[in-house]
Structure 1
Amino acid sequence: MSIGFFKHALNVVQQQSRRRTPHRVSQWFKWLSPGLSVKRWLLISVSGVILACLGLAIWVRLTPIYRIIQLFKIFLEFITDIVPYYVSGPIVLLCGLVLLLWGQTRTVGSVTEAFRPQGEEQLVDALMAHRRLYRGPKIVVVGGGTGLSTLLRGLKAYSANITAIVTVADDGGSSGRLRREIGVLPPGDIRNCLSGLADEEKLLTELFQYRFSAGDGLSGHSFGNLFLTAMSEITGDLERAVAASSKVLAIRGQVLPATLSDVQLWAELTDGRRIEGESNITEAGGKIAKIGCTPAAPPALPTAIKAIKEADCIVMGPGSLYTSVIPNLLVPEISDAIAASTSPRIYVCNIMTQPGETDGYSVADHIEAIDKACGRRLFNSVLVHKKSPSSRALFRYAKEKSHPVFIDREAISKLGRRIVPANVIQEDEVGYVRHNPYQLAKVLLRWYSRTPHKMSRFKKIYSKK
């Protein structure tokens, strides 16, 4: 039987009922798409029905089934006498297949209504998306702050095999208060990443970012920080708390703290001052000469090292250079694992300089700061934004003594880095400049697909995006 007969039969069924639209037919054919693992089970189901009927017939020694078969045989002979077998056979076969497909789709429709009562997405579409995402490349992203969560928001549309390695050096705001009062690791950056990877991102972000404005002890705390703190107390540590929260929130990928040690950042400034604490470094207002942490060599989370070793590509940044990106690399095992990786590695440079951290820095200065902190080269490419923000944004940032990061191509080339220029800027109504999460993810996946690596099967998929 050719596929043409099958399509024709579906068209006939469609014409008989006005309620069955071309959309419904297209949904039927989606179940025949490769990779869904549906057709094989459908064939097995049909084979099971045939074998069950055959077994029953043998068991009762063809009585009274034998008489039913005889009547059925007489009926078929009568049909073939009227309509030739080469016409009646395909028609009966088509009718059987149509009924079987119709029954299966109605069954799936009932299951869909039970599990997706709002009907916003067909089950077959969800299944296809699930298969595509979980066949995506294994991406490890290293950083912290809002920059990392922004990137994750875009990457989750291309792959569910994402691991975010997040700094736990934050000591300001709600996270800092919880760290001092309860003794837990700061959950703020992890909270942002969980929100970015969640399916129900908008609602979850609003919930996790909600800050209590009243209440003795609650004022200033975000719900997400309190949630993760409570989970840490229940499960025993932050790693288990994040894993349990990820299941509850149904996130795509995983979020891991870089270390479970109580890390505190310190910085030596060019004027000789030594600043203790992540939140104090930016406020000090000097130029950073050296960055470090206490304890000096905190142990890495084994799960994070395993993720780096298995990664198809590694992305660092965007985010505050000295207080979000570099703190993860001060964990020796993490920097060692990244340096030993043969997968493509890229650093996403910030669009604007950050007062108190990177005043007057160019792209090459950002690269040199990472190399100096780690004592080696960890990445071979750098993604930069090639167009300047609007004049309104430039004027707004100039008031804060912040300027676009200059792309000094010659200096970058001398450092042995490949430049990946792209237009990935997103500017809001008041002039704040951020990376566009979806454009940034698209550029990164296109860069990955064009980089020679062992996972070449993804090249065709992502080069078309």
Structure 2
Amino acid sequence: MSIAIIRQTLKALHKHSRVRSGRTSYRVNQWFKWLSPGLSVKRWLLISVGGVILAALGLAIWVKLTPIFWMIQLLKGLLGFITNLLPNYVSGPLVMVCGLLLLLWGQTRTVGSITKVLRPEGDEEIIDMLLAHRRLYRGPKIVVIGGGTGLSNLLRGLKNYSANITAIVTVADDGGSSGRLRREIGVLPPGDIRNCLAAMADEEKLLTELFQYRFSAGDGLTGHSFGNLFLTAMSEITGDLERAVAASSKVLAIRGQVLPATLSDVSLWANLADGRRIEGESSITEAGGKIVNIGCTPANPPALPAAIKALKEAEYIVIGPGSLYTSVIPNLLVPEIADVIAASLAPRIYVCNIMTQPGETQGYTVSDHIKAIDNVCGKSLFNAVLVQNKHPSARAHMRYAQEDSHPVFCDRLEINKLGRRVVIANIMHEDETGCVRHDPQKIARVLLRWYSSTSKKNVILKTHQAVSRV
């Protein structure tokens, strides 16, 4: 019995020591993070130490060295006593280590106090916040163009790799809550912008729930989402949607920026193969015909200057994903946007949808998506297309077949004839009901990997061209 008790005690002590050791190693690791290059902390620490030394020297000069002299004498006697007990090659390093430990302890307690103020919940160390901030704000300047749930899904993944993201969003929506606000108040539809703001916010889960909350009761409120009402109110206060989005971005602390493609009151129209002309974004999909031509009223709307500036400075341009004719192409109906994308030297890629969409892209292949964009713009806007490589499950096939929707077929030969490179990867997420969406993390990893490889090739090509000229 006593042996069993002793064994349990030893196990408990061993477990406790491992926990303490783990805590100690974690704390030491956190200390050494402060020495990471690029944080601009070491220089200020050295300046602080120098300031302490200078202040002590100034005090000594001020009091004519009288108290400092006795302190030095006392310190000399103490150090002499220690040296007599221990040899200098032991006592010297020992005193130096004690001094460094005291300095490190003081700095750690200082940083801990600051962390408690900045992060009261204590769920993240301030050094981790600084390292993440440094990594994100050194990320590439990415411009993403589109709308709908596809764009917001993409942004959820990309925001973990760069904070220099600009989302250019369509403002042609005329259905649901956005359409009602557009007709009743005269504001530009805020729905797609709302989704992007929620996706790019730090507290994404809570903010998404808040912005997507729809009122189910109340005279005039039923069906409206809180996010749409919030942006509408901000538009009224600030004067236009651009300022409203900028102010909301600061309030919500989003990573990057969201910009409308234009501030014009744009309305879509489409000519169908059966001769019908459909007016309005929501009516185009509901018409259920084959789209042969699409445009907007007024024609050739002016682009938002900030959007053009972002595209000119972009290091990477991503088009899509989203509904081809009602989310992606409406942005490209702004001529300045299409022209700047076509002239850009940055890597440009189109993210193709996983499934066809009834009323828009029934029977479309990947090359059909590309041809539709080329025909509308009259020029080639991107040099690669990202395609899902695995088919959804049988359950998903059955679900989407009921809606006359099927996986988009990748016809590589036709894509190659169009002069586009095909990037094939598994970027799909399928939930338990068989609903298929782009996976935010998978698609972001694939896009950043392709960007890195393309950027390296461009650097090598430019270097080779420079050497050839010499």
Is the pair's TM-score, using the shorter chain for normalization, greater than 0.5? yes
Q: Which amino acid aligns with 1:445?
A: L
The count of aligned residue pairs is 443
Q: Which amino acid aligns with 1:379?
A: F
Residue 392 of structure 1 corresponds to: 395
Taking a change above 3 Å as real, the CA distance of residues 19 and 446 of structure 1, as seen in their structure-2 partners, is closer
Residue 345 of structure 1 corresponds to: 348
Q: CA shift at 1:18, angstroms? A: 7.7
Taking the TM superposition and a 5 Å limit, the aligned residue runs for 1:272-283 are 272-283=275-286
Q: Distance in 2 between matches of 1:180 and 1:133?
A: 40
- SS in structure 1 at match of 2:66: coil
Q: Which amino acid aligns with 2:185?
A: I
Residue 374 of structure 2 corresponds to: 371
Q: Is the 8 A contact 1:351 1:385 kept in 2?
A: yes
Q: Distance in 1 between matches of 2:393 and 2:279?
A: 36
Residue 355 of structure 1 corresponds to: 358
Taking a change above 3 Å as real, the CA distance of residues 29 and 204 of structure 1, as seen in their structure-2 partners, is same
Q: Distance in 2 between matches of 1:339 and 1:101?
A: 55
Q: Which amino acid aligns with 1:223?
A: F
2:321 to 298, 318, 321: 318
Moved more, 79-88 or 18-27: 18-27
Give the TM-score normalised by structure 1: 0.92
Residue 9 of structure 1 corresponds to: none
List per-residue Cα deviations over 1:124-171 (Å, max 9, x = no partner): 111111111111111100000000000000001111111100000000
Q: Distance in 2 between matches of 1:230 and 1:294?
A: 26
List per-residue Cα deviations over 1:44-96 (Å, max 9, x = no partner): 11111111111111222212222222222232233333322222222111111
Q: Which amino acid aligns with 1:447?
A: W
Taking the TM superposition and a 5 Å limit, the aligned residue runs for 1:114-125 are 114-125=117-128
Q: Is the 8 A contact 1:299 1:333 kept in 2?
A: yes
Taking a change above 3 Å as real, the CA distance of residues 18 and 327 of structure 1, as seen in their structure-2 partners, is closer
Residue 49 of structure 2 corresponds to: 46
Q: Is the 8 A contact 1:256 1:304 kept in 2?
A: yes
- In structure 1, the gaps of 5 or more residues are 1-13, 458-465
- SS in structure 1 at match of 2:135: helix
List per-residue Cα deviations over 1:98-133 (Å, max 9, x = no partner): 111111111111111222122211111111111111
1:268 to 271, 275, 296: 271
Q: Distance in 1 between matches of 2:334 and 2:73?
A: 79
Residue 290 of structure 2 corresponds to: 287
Residue 161 of structure 2 corresponds to: 158
2:384 to 374, 381, 385: 381
Residue 102 in structure 1 maps to residue 105 in structure 2: yes
Q: CA RMSD in A?
A: 1.7
- SS in structure 2 at match of 1:64: helix
- SS in structure 2 at match of 1:164: strand
Q: CA shift at 1:34, angstroms? A: 1.8
Residue 237 in structure 1 maps to residue 240 in structure 2: yes
Residue 130 in structure 1 maps to residue 136 in structure 2: no
Q: Distance in 2 between matches of 1:291 and 1:182?
A: 27
Q: Which amino acid aligns with 1:171?
A: D
Q: CA shift at 1:453, angstroms? A: 5.4
- In structure 2, the gaps of 5 or more residues are 1-16, 461-470
- SS in structure 1 at match of 2:35: coil
Residue 182 in structure 1 maps to residue 149 in structure 2: no
- SS in structure 2 at match of 1:34: coil
Residue 67 in structure 1 maps to residue 70 in structure 2: yes
Residue 442 of structure 1 corresponds to: 445
Q: Is the 8 A contact 1:449 1:456 kept in 2?
A: no
Q: Distance in 2 between matches of 1:257 and 1:300?
A: 9
Q: Distance in 1 between matches of 2:30 and 2:71?
A: 37
Residue 252 of structure 1 corresponds to: 255
